[in-house]
Structures are given as C-alpha cells and as structure tokens.
Structure 1
Amino acid sequence: MTRPTVLFVCVHNAGRSQMAAGYLTALAGDRVDVRSAGSMPGNQLNPVAVAAMAEEGIDISAAQPRLLDDASVQEADVVITMGCGDACPYYPGKRYEDWELDDPAGQPIEPVRGIRDDIRRRVETLIAEIAPE
C-alpha cells in the first residue's frame, strides 16, 4: 500500500501548517508523506509556534516557509487548509478539509498552546482515518 501524502496549507506557512506537519510527522512516522506550504509564505517560522511545539518534544525549528504551488496540491491525497481562503487551488478527486483555527501570529504562548492542542486532536483523528496502524 502506498503512503498517503498530506499537504497542510496556511497563508504564511509559519505557524498552523508547520505545527500540523510537525505533529503528523511525529505521530504517524513513515506511514504518511507530510508537506506544508503557504499562499504568501513568511520569511521564518513563528518563534512562539516553535516554542509551543518544543514543549511537546517536537522540534520544527529547521522548517522553512514554502510557497504553495499547483504541483504540491496535485501530488497530495489530502489537502488541509487553515484560513487561506480562495488563495488555495482546488482539484477534483482530492480529499479537502478546512480546519478553522485562530492564527498564532503575534499571539503570546498561552493562546498558541490552545491552537497547538486543537491541531494535535485533529491530526490524531486524521491519522486514524488515513493511516491507522
């Protein structure tokens, strides 16, 4: 069986999508190919998001925001958007989900922890659906 490819997309690819990618990589291991991108990527990851994930023992500090392109969407089996609106391309035949999550940009650690924990619950549900052990 081939591994499903999951693409997480948010505007800046600096917080939510990177946290989701970090969780999916850590929790699903090599059962899933994980990618993330942004419709208008930032210059660096949100340091508060990096710190919140470090509290969970997941290091996302080496990740870099990446520009979303059509090929990434076409290659993905599952596309999960997080507030990118109409900026995200859509292709029939893909599984799409839109996770409504607050943007951690500019927020202190407390609310970012809540966003992080919400992302973890959603990632755990996703794993159970697409890559159960």
Structure 2
Amino acid sequence: MPDQPSVLFVCVHNAGRSQMAAGFLTALSGGRVEVRSAGSVPADRINPVARDAMAEVGIDISDQQPKILTTDAVRASDVVITMGCGDTCPVFPGKRYEDWKLDDPAGQGIEAVRPIRDEIRVRVTSLLAELLPV
C-alpha cells in the first residue's frame, strides 16, 4: 500500500452511509488517508438525518454533495468499501474490496440512524488501524 492509502466508500445514493463513513475516516485519519465517496445513483443532497447524526459526534458533513461513482474513482483507490450498491461497483484486479452490510438510513429518524452511525465508526476505526498500523 502507498504512503498515503486511498479509500472509496460506495452506496446507492451517496447521501447517508458512505458520507458518514467518509466523514469518520477523514476526521480520524487526520489527513493521512485519501478519502472518496460516491453513489451508483446519487441523491440530490446529503440525508439531513445522517448529517445531524454526524454533527452530534462533532463531525460536519454538511458541506458534502453526493457524487456519481466513476471507474476513475475506483481505479484511484486502494480500498473500495461498498454498502449495498450491489453489482454496480466496477471491479478491478488488485483492489481490496469489502462489503459492509449496514441498514440504509434513508427515511429513518435520528433514533434509528444513531446505531448505524455508531457501527460505521467502529468499522472505520478498525479499517484505519489496518491502513495505518502504529
């Protein structure tokens, strides 16, 4: 893996799970990991409940916009984490792929989104320990 590893988080709308994961990895890595997120069918805006759930833990994702998944983004990433995007994510040899099974926060209230957020934080923390061992 290069000096600065690169991670791409992908979900369908790039409005909830992948944005929360990108927010955590950006904050927890302190700029030591290049972070991308994208969606196979991006929404118009970030899920406001996901945004509020992240604000509760001190991470501001309100300036983010959902982005379309491109083969260039996959090609430029060392690790690709999918979250319910099915077969829409292009697969390239030599890339590390993981599929994180997580509930979709779309249409759910803050009480339902908090446990999703917390599970994402646990997974991102574990990923970060693998990418940047002490």
Common topology (TM > 0.5): yes
Instruction: Give the SS at the match of 1:80.
Output: strand
TM-score by length of 2: 0.97
Alpha-carbon separation, structure 1, partners of 2:125 and 2:50? 19
* Identical columns (%): 68
Structure 1, unpaired ranges of 5+: none
Query: Once superposed, which parts of structure 1, at least 4 consecutive aligned residues long, lie more than 3 Å away?
Result: none
Counterpart of 2:3 in structure 1 is 2
Counterpart of 1:103 in structure 2 is 104
Structure 2, unpaired ranges of 5+: none
Counterpart of 1:94 in structure 2 is 95
Instruction: Give the SS at the match of 1:44.
Output: coil
- Within-5 A mapping of 1:1-133: 2-133=3-134
TM-score by length of 1: 0.98
Alpha-carbon separation, structure 2, partners of 1:122 and 1:60? 18
Note the aligned Cα RMSD (angstroms): 0.8
Instruction: Give the SS at the match of 2:111.
Output: helix
Offset at 1:30? 1.4
Aligned residue pair count? 133
